[in-house]
Structure 1
Amino acid sequence: MAPADTATPKLHASDIGSIKAFADSNGDSPIPSSYYSIVEARDDVADHLASSFPVIDFSLLTSPDPLLHADTVSQLGKACAEWGFFMLTNHGISEKLMKEVMDKSHEFHNLPVEEKKEFADKGPLASIRHGTSFYPESELFHYWRDYLKVMTLPEFNFPHKPPGFKEVAYDYSSKTRAVARTLLQGISESLGLEANAIIKSTGFDSGLQIFVVNLYPPCPQPELALGMPPHTDHGLLTLLYQNGIGGLQVNHNGRWVNVNPLPNSLIVNTADQLEAVSNGRYKSIWHRAVLNNKDTRLSIVVANGPDLEEEIAPAPELVERGEGIRYKKMKYREYFSKVQQVTRLVDTSRLDKVRINPQN
């Protein structure tokens, strides 16, 4: 638990336009008490489970050998069912492109605060949003993070600076979308569905994609603050790439597990709408970002979702097998713009809004 506040001011996220600028100017000074977001001890981290984190070889999933493909589909289904997260290797996105997108993302966050003000967050449906913390209007505490969020599909948007960022991001967004599409085909097969079943039922090919760059500066008191609180992701699949600085923790069977990605791998997680489509077979898993007091962590997150106008519901084939309907229909736009954005992220799941029985 955080200590009683004695010397640090009670600042709100609205008072701090950039946590990077704030951290740069305050050095090792104590953090504001409004950032005391640690509400449980850090000793619940199960380090022995990190080596069990699933790894999927994308090249085997796309192999023309039916036996290799089938075996990888089985591994993919197991990873989704048991972890809701997996590491993806041999995904076909070049190391050169991944380095370029990381370098340009750093350049954006290193721009002067004044130059980024034109991209200030104006709400969840704004095409380009720059801000700090998580959801300041609904959160109980503030979080040690600056972000850039851009809608790159169904129409491509992007900041015009720094030079070259837009072009690199377009290439990276396109390639990660193709990877996500192939993964969804494999996930459909793992559920016993036709390969394109989830793609068709969610309108994936005309769906939403959001490109997010999270920056977590060194925090003088990482034992008190979080970069992001425990949360699940909206959409179908999220693909994450980071700069080699650890911080992602996944909740696995009630224990937090540090994720240690292999170089140039992607971390993939199943998200809220995939849980609903799979009728609860594949859960949307809680995860969080922890901090350190030495290094800046930067993560590039590409969230891939359904068509905003599509009603998301369990796949009929799964319901027909006698499983029963476990999730109500909800238009993705409503979930994204209302439920996902305003639900306070403490002791509740946003999916409870669509679960038939929220206790399950």
Structure 2
Amino acid sequence: MEVERVQAIASLSVRKNTIPLEFIRSEKEQPAITTFHGPVPEIPTIDLSDPDQEKLARAISDASQNWGLFQVVNHGIPSDVISKLQSVGRDFFELPHEEKEAYAKPPGAKTIEGYGTKLQKEVEGKKSWVDHLFHKIWPPSSINYHFWPKNPSSYREANEEYAKWLRGVVDKLFTSLSLGLGLEGHVLKDAVGGDELEYLMKINYYPPCPRPDLALGVVAHTDMSTITVLVPNEVAGLQVFKDDHWFDAKYIPNALIVHIGDQIEILSNGKYKSVLHRTTVNKEKTRMSWPVFCEPSPELVMGPLPQLVSEENPAKYKAKKYKDYVYCKLNKLPQ
């Protein structure tokens, strides 16, 4: 049975100026009702080029404890590397339907790699206003090029170049997060698998939606992985849940958005917070984003770091294989 893609639904919906019922959120989720409209607190923006490592670690640690999310500027990835990544991703989603379907996630596959629409079980059978493409970009041993588009022809080159630069940024983030826990700089990266850490690229494609007041691009969730580094396009849409309110994240040109994921919360024994976030959609414009999820290998056991557990501060989370954590989360089972 062929899955109906949101991109196709969107082009019909725009003409009718309405959206199908399964995309209409309950009142407790509708962005028009639940978005905070007063003065929005500033999400931390951190200069990653700061030579003072102690100060940088403190800023990243504070943001990870209080927000679970921050934006980084002066991160060292050349702007043309990012714009090429965005350009080839956009070109893929503008291909004819049949060409995109050649990369569809195989039905019943254990992997989430491939072109797709639905990702996890949704309460009340609701749907999110988004199509996506998943594939791993690092390490080379984990890459399945079957899911990398051959059109545009520069797709592979643009993604490999981005992966090369991104690894330096991720290493710097892990070092600062480690130092912020009072540990040596290498500890967190070692705990998530060192150079075996897998980088999973996702391209989110949110087509224009005639009723952005009623729909969500991605429902409220925390990321399962360690950290997520996201490239947005200029169409705002990321919202963060803090102090019982949904706040819009401000778009900062050339910034990367960093999310703390569940595994960093677990490893830090709850000191760092995995951020609850969601995505809204736009009436006129297509929103796109390029998150990369830094994931431990499936068999790696993740639990609170022993250095952070004591009689006064017992372990708050169960240690388990990452693949078991993922299975429980996607199927809404207790951890």
What's the TM-score once normalised by structure 2's chain length?
0.91
Q: Rate the CA distance shift 1:164–1:287 in 2: closer, same or farther, 3 A.
A: same
Map 1:47-66 onto structure 2 (within 5 A).
47-48=37-38, 50-60=40-50, 63=51
1:340 aligned counterpart, secondary structure: helix
- In the TM superposition, residue 296 of structure 1 has moved relative to its aligned partner by 0.5
Map 1:64-213 onto structure 2 (within 5 A).
68-122=52-106, 125-126=110-111, 128-135=113-120, 140-154=125-139, 155-157=142-144, 158-213=148-203
Map 1:224-303 onto structure 2 (within 5 A).
224-303=214-293
Mapped contact 1:222–1:290 kept (Cα < 8 A): yes
Q: Rate the CA distance shift 1:178–1:124 in 2: closer, same or farther, 3 A.
A: farther
- In the TM superposition, residue 291 of structure 1 has moved relative to its aligned partner by 1.2
- In the TM superposition, residue 133 of structure 1 has moved relative to its aligned partner by 3.7
Superposed CA offset, 1:186-235 (max 9, x none)? 00100001111111122132022110000101111111111110001011
Question: Identity of paired residues, percent?
Answer: 31
- In the TM superposition, residue 27 of structure 1 has moved relative to its aligned partner by 2.4
Q: Rate the CA distance shift 1:139–1:200 in 2: closer, same or farther, 3 A.
A: farther
Which stretches in structure 1 are left out of the alignment for 5+ residues?
1-13, 344-349, 354-360
Map 1:1-12 onto structure 2 (within 5 A).
none
Aligned to 2:7: 20
Q: After superposing the two structures, state which structure 1 stretch, 17-26 or 81-90, moved more.
A: 17-26
- In the TM superposition, residue 273 of structure 1 has moved relative to its aligned partner by 0.5
Mapped contact 1:149–1:213 kept (Cα < 8 A): yes
Q: Rate the CA distance shift 1:15–1:307 in 2: closer, same or farther, 3 A.
A: closer
Aligned to 2:296: 306
1:288 aligned counterpart, secondary structure: strand
Is 2:25 the partner of 1:37?
yes
Moved over 4 A (4+): 136-139
Count matched residues.
Answer: 326
Mapped contact 1:144–1:217 kept (Cα < 8 A): yes
Q: Name the amino acid aligned to 2:212.
A: P
Q: Name the amino acid aligned to 2:25.
A: S
- In the TM superposition, residue 15 of structure 1 has moved relative to its aligned partner by 6.4
- In the TM superposition, residue 153 of structure 1 has moved relative to its aligned partner by 2.9
Which stretches in structure 2 are left out of the alignment for 5+ residues?
none
Q: For the residues of structure 2 that align with 1:301 and 1:244, how far apart are their CA atoms?
A: 15
Q: For the residues of structure 2 that align with 1:132 and 1:181, how far apart are their CA atoms?
A: 31
- In the TM superposition, residue 173 of structure 1 has moved relative to its aligned partner by 2.0
Aligned to 1:10: none
Q: For the residues of structure 1 that align with 2:301 and 2:228, how far apart are their CA atoms?
A: 20
Q: For the residues of structure 2 that align with 1:139 and 1:175, how far apart are their CA atoms?
A: 41
Q: For the residues of structure 2 that align with 1:53 and 1:26, how far apart are their CA atoms?
A: 34
Aligned to 1:339: 328
- In the TM superposition, residue 170 of structure 1 has moved relative to its aligned partner by 1.2
